[in-house]
Amino acid sequence: MSNDHRLSARQERIVQFIAESRRANGRPPTVREIGLAVGITSTSVVDYNLDKLERVGVIRRHREISRGIELVENADAGSRPYAVPIIGRIAAGRPIDAVQADPEQIEIPSSMARPGNFALRVAGTSMIDDLIDDGDIVIVEPRETAQNGDIVVALMTDGAEPEGAATLKRFYRERDRIRLEPRNPNLQPIYVKPHDLRIQGRAVGLIRPMIA
């Protein structure tokens, strides 16, 4: 897919929601339902993104009906489903113990993930200003380092025990400490020493499950 045809993260989320709606309800969603699912309040902004998806051949629209959105079966491979394991949950609030569950899987457009990526369910609302809400699913690229401003999966330890409390926050390196910054004005940053923190990965995508 050329740069002109590359989908944004928001557009990938729209494609995912359309596919989920078809599987769950046997029909595509309305424009308003898409907006609610991906956090867009303006239907005109949803229309703009749907028009882009139609131009690049990912969907086909039938504007004379309210649910006239059809996924194109032979769309670019970047929009075809790719199974990513959901390996547990992560705190977007106060740190919680990472929970390793029997890995279920979620199908997402392959352009949102690479081999080795994994998914975590979000618990809490500390990242709400980054549009990451309780119950969302974050797609994570495994890595042990981070740049300032990255949204990271951070595992806090006491320096002796590698397993500890995991959290999803923005990462900032300061003089002799790390600041884990929430994106919620009601919450305070977490400060830790570098040796008491292990980066598990960087958030690279977001899925908002459809509410039944």
pLDDT tens per residue across span 150-164: 999 998 876 444 456
Domain range enclosing 36:
3-79
State yes or no: pLDDT of 55 exceeds 60.
Answer: yes
Same domain, 72 and 104: no
| Rounded Cα–Cα distance for residues 16 and 109 (Å) | 7
Same domain, 39 and 99: no
What integer best gives the mean pLDDT of the chain?
81
The pLDDT value given to residue 162? 43
Average pLDDT over residues 97-125: 73
Better-predicted residue by pLDDT, 201 or 83? 201
- Helix axis angle for 43-55 and 9-25, nearest 10°, is 90
Residue where a domain stops, chosen among 79, 112, 147: 79
Same domain, 196 and 137: yes
Does residue 185 belong to any structural domain of this protein?
yes
% of the chain with per-residue pLDDT over 90 = 30
Residue where a domain stops, chosen among 51, 79, 107: 79
Model-level pTM?
Answer: 0.60
Same domain, 127 and 195: yes
The pLDDT value given to residue 103? 65
Same domain, 197 and 157: yes
Q: Which residues are catalytic?
A: 126, 169
How many domains is the chain built from?
Answer: 2
| Rounded Cα–Cα distance for residues 16 and 125 (Å) | 22
